[in-house]
Chains A and B, each alone.
Chain A
Amino acid sequence: GAVVSQHPSWVICKSGTSVKIECRSLDFQATTMFWYRQFPKQSLMLMATSNEGSKATYEQGVEKDKFLINHASLTLSTLTVTSAHPEDSSFYICSARVVGDREGGETQYFGPGTRLLVL
């Protein structure tokens, strides 16, 4: 399957700072990437859909000015958590849409995730 990487894997920061998380498709081009957040023992929550060269589409309840998404190239999407607070501490996971890697259509592959702890 396709490989998606994330960097960093762990972030610890002080309240009020901004944190940037990178999501890269390593062996394919991804016109669409997704950003999810997962709190402990809870299910995945889609935050936004990131499309290369255009503005991201945010899910209801997700503040676009708080979670800035930039998909400037076909292999890189970034999520910046601005002015992070302790309640933003979570597991952030990106995924990439891959088209044509299997019979029948497209698939979504996940990065390894980034754990954010805001003190």
Chain B
Amino acid sequence: QKEVEQNSGPLSVPEGAIASLNCTYSDRGSQSFFWYRQYSGKSPELIMFIYSNGDKEDGRFTAQLNKASQYVSLLIRDSQPSDSATYLCAVMGYTGNQFYFGTGTSLTVIP
């Protein structure tokens, strides 16, 4: 079983809609959770992190964490074509010595 699993997509949403990206992880003791955005041909860019159960909002982005279900998600409200990218979920393990990345979900926002 992979440490972090994401639906590879592709996920397509119309402009202005809410995009929902999901991630599950296997290590129940994981401490921190991250969402990175990677544009084609570029390196990943950190956009959100969360470490407490519940929701965390930053502008149009909301990260949701449910440790009991070992589930973390990213909601993008009012999606824009510039949000089209691959979104990587990352989990910091219990020991803090390892980051585990998912394979990424490709998002396309259609104008």
Instruction: Report which A residues bind B (CB closer than 8 A).
Output: 1, 34, 43-44, 46, 93, 102, 104-113
Given contacts A1-B46, A44-B101, A112-B42, contact A106 B88 (CB under 8 A): no
Residues of A close to B102: CB separation below 8 A? 43
Q: In which size bucket is the chain B interface?
A: 20 to 34
Are A105 and B31 interface neighbours, CB within 8 A? yes
Instruction: Report which B residues bind A (CB closer than 8 A).
Output: 31-32, 34, 36, 42-46, 49, 51-52, 88, 90, 92, 96, 99, 101-104
Given contacts A43-B101, A43-B104, A105-B32, contact A110 B92 (CB under 8 A): no
Are A106 and B101 interface neighbours, CB within 8 A? no
Are A106 and B92 interface neighbours, CB within 8 A? yes
Are B42 and A107 interface neighbours, CB within 8 A? no
Are B34 and A106 interface neighbours, CB within 8 A? no
State which of B34, B43, B90 has its C-beta within 8 Å of the C-beta of A111.
Answer: B43
Are B43 and A105 interface neighbours, CB within 8 A? no
Q: Closest CB-CB distance, A27 to chain B, in whole Å?
A: 15
Q: Closest CB-CB distance, A102 to chain B, in whole Å?
A: 7
Are B51 and A105 interface neighbours, CB within 8 A? yes
Docked CA distance A107–B35 (Å): 11
Given contacts A44-B88, A44-B101, contact A113 B43 (CB under 8 A): yes
Residues of B close to A104: CB separation below 8 A? 31-32, 49, 51-52
Residues of B close to A107: CB separation below 8 A? 34, 46, 49
Are B46 and A105 interface neighbours, CB within 8 A? no
Residues of B close to A93: CB separation below 8 A? 43-44
Are A105 and B96 interface neighbours, CB within 8 A? yes
Are A108 and B34 interface neighbours, CB within 8 A? yes
Q: Closest CB-CB distance, A28 to chain B, in whole Å?
A: 14
Docked CA distance A110–B45 (Å): 7
State which of B32, B42, B104 has its C-beta within 8 Å of the C-beta of A106.
Answer: B32
Q: What are 25 A-B contacts defined by CB distance under 8 Å?
A: A43-B101, A43-B102, A44-B44, A46-B101, A93-B43, A104-B32, A104-B49, A104-B52, A105-B31, A105-B92, A105-B96, A106-B32, A106-B92, A106-B96, A107-B46, A108-B46, A108-B90, A108-B99, A109-B46, A110-B44, A110-B45, A110-B46, A112-B43, A113-B42, A113-B43
